[in-house]
Amino acid sequence: MAIEPSHGTPDAPGFLCDDPRLIARYQAAERQLAGNLRRLYHHSGPVLIEGGPYPGIWLECGPLEGLTYARWNPARALENHRIFFQLRRPGGWLPCCVREQRIEFSQIQMVTPIAATALEMAEQTGNEAFLRQAYAACAAWDRWLARNRNTRHTGLCEAFCTFDTGEDGSPRFAGLPGACPDGDARRCPPNPRLPYLAPDLSATVYGGRLALARMAGHLGRPREAAAWRAAAEQIRRAIFRWCYDPRAMNFFDRDAQGHLLRINSVALLVVLENHVPDARLAAALIARHVLNPREFWLPFPLPSIAGDDPAFNRAMPRDCWGGPSQALTALRAPRWLEHYGHASALNHLMRQWLRLLMNAPHFSQQADPWTGAMSTGRDYSPAMLVLLDFTSRLYGVRAASQELEWNCRVPGNAIHCEYRLPLGSGPGEAALRSRQPRLAAHCHSELFLSGRKILAVDGPARLITDAAGRPLRWLGTEPHAVRVKLYQPGAAPRAWILRPDQSVPI
């Protein structure tokens, strides 16, 4: 097995700052997430539920939420995957939802591939038994989807109902059933418009197959890895053939009568999340649609329907994917904005979401993309995870792929902050202390491993080091060029000018 165990500890990261509102909300999120741990349907261990008005766990989001929560509770993160694997039906059929007293199979309800989040969990933990369990379950799920959701023989994954994508209230599915007949996701409702060829569901299958290829590689199965890569490429080509409109430069559903349904929705963002477009096309799509202040780059990004689309529901009722910006969409954003090299845009999005979460009375599901007013429930796990995750990405230390990323800056209403990340054996703990006095031109950050100061930085940026703290490269994360300076023991200070999204080796 090619995975190295991380030897992580269950100790949670620690964050302190002198902005009383931010620290109060951060601590509330930690506390209320712990309160959202529940036992569901006789499963062996508690899981992190969706929270708010949703007392269960859903396939589209529960595994991703578990992956995000792994830094605070790795055991629960594993259970957020195992619950779907252990409760699947014969033939690989995964439940769409698990509640306290029942499991449901009335739709497929998937967005972020469970194979992708399971792979990341296995790579983080070095748990080969979990990797084998995940590979078997996710491979069987892919085969189930191919048997049951390819009725038009296009090679794509079809949408039978609204809840297949988890987009309640979306105009994509106006007038169509929410779930499949008799609670059976194998049955398409009798409607002449159905089934849809769905770009987002198909993109999720694509992302899952890429993850399965990497799983097979970790397990020493090169032939299976090659077969999964070939299957992924097959569905990628089909997405472009059936669901891409080059004139609109966008991905749309195609109904059973062959019509493209040109609604500019988060389906595009799911296609990006699963890395279907190559870098060149993604750059064009992001520039034209995502960063467009009339479409998805509204004051509080990213709305579930583009702001200038006639289908946008300006009434913005509860639980509505017809317009409001959703916490789940924000939680997924780092998976594609980072991948396509838009760290500065991600930083803007994260700051805006922290701003609205600090001002909101509750951790709710959705926000008005113009005003930031939140609605739909309280103690909603994705919103709380957004606050914790975005804090670490803006002001904290993160570990990934034998590297450490140090996000050197101070919250807007603070003078100083400190973030501590337990690393288990080896260096023990990484700590980042940043300070920017009022009227100071830039922040000053000090980087520590196991209590020993290793580096210092002037200016806001991301510094990437190896696990031992040796600097590797800078990443420009601000919306404008900044000057940064690096201080190393025994060496003269060195300075750079970093442009937005620029990666500079050290």
Could you read off the pLDDT of 307-365 as tens digits, one per residue?
999 999 999 999 999 999 999 999 999 999 999 999 999 999 999 999 999 999 999 99
Q: What is the pLDDT of residue 441?
A: 85
Cα dihedral value 183, 186, 191, 193, nearest 10:
130
pLDDT, position 425:
58
- Answer yes or no: do 238 and 189 share one domain: yes
Question: Is residue 220 assigned to a domain?
Answer: yes
- Do 329 and 322 meet the contact criterion of CB atoms below 8 Å apart? no
The single-letter code of the amino acid at 287 is A
Q: Which two tokens stand for residue 341?
A: 């090299």
Cβ pair 38, 55 in contact under 8 A? yes
The residue from 345, 380, 395 where one domain ends is 395
Using CA atoms, how far apart are residues 84 and 73, in angstroms rounded to an integer? 18
495 by Cβ neighbours in 10 Å (0-12 / 13-18 / 19+) ranks as exposed
* CATH number, position 391: 1.50.10.10
CA torsion 307-311-312-318 (nearest 10°) is -160
**Domain-ending residue, one of 363, 380, 395:** 395
Token readout for 56 is: 């269960």
Closest CA to 74 of 129, 133, 138, 122: 122
Whether residue 370 is contained in a domain is answered as yes
What DSSP state is assigned to residue 126? -
User: Are 194 and 265 in the same domain?
Assistant: yes
Residues 374, 473 within the same domain? no
Domain boundary among 343, 368, 395: 395
What is the distance between the alpha carbons of residues 268 and 265, in angstroms, rounded to a whole number? Answer: 6
State how many domains the chain has: 2
411 and 449 share one domain: yes
Token pair in block for residue 51? 């929270």
Whether the Cβ atoms of residue 270 and residue 111 lie closer than 8 Å to each other = yes
DSSP label of 89? B
Per-residue buried b or exposed e for 190-203, using 16+ beta carbons within 10 Å of the residue's own CB = eeeebbbbbbbbbb
Domain hosting 414: range is 400-505
**Whole-number pLDDT of residue 9:** 38
Asked whether 66 and 116 are in contact (CB, 8 A), the reply is no
Q: Are residues 339 and 386 in the same domain?
A: yes
Residues 297 and 443 in one domain: no
Helices (H), 219-342: 222-243, 267-273, 279-285, 327-332, 334-337
Residues near 318 by Cβ (< 8 Å), separated by ≥ 6?
A: 375, 376
Q: Are both 387 and 410 inside the same structural domain? A: no
The low-confidence residues of the chain, meaning pLDDT below 50, are 1-10
500 found inside a domain: yes
Q: What is the pLDDT of residues 476-493, one digit of tens each?
A: 999 999 999 999 999 999
For residues 464 and 446, is the Cβ–Cβ distance under 8 A? no
Same domain, residue pair 489 and 375: no
66: β partners? none
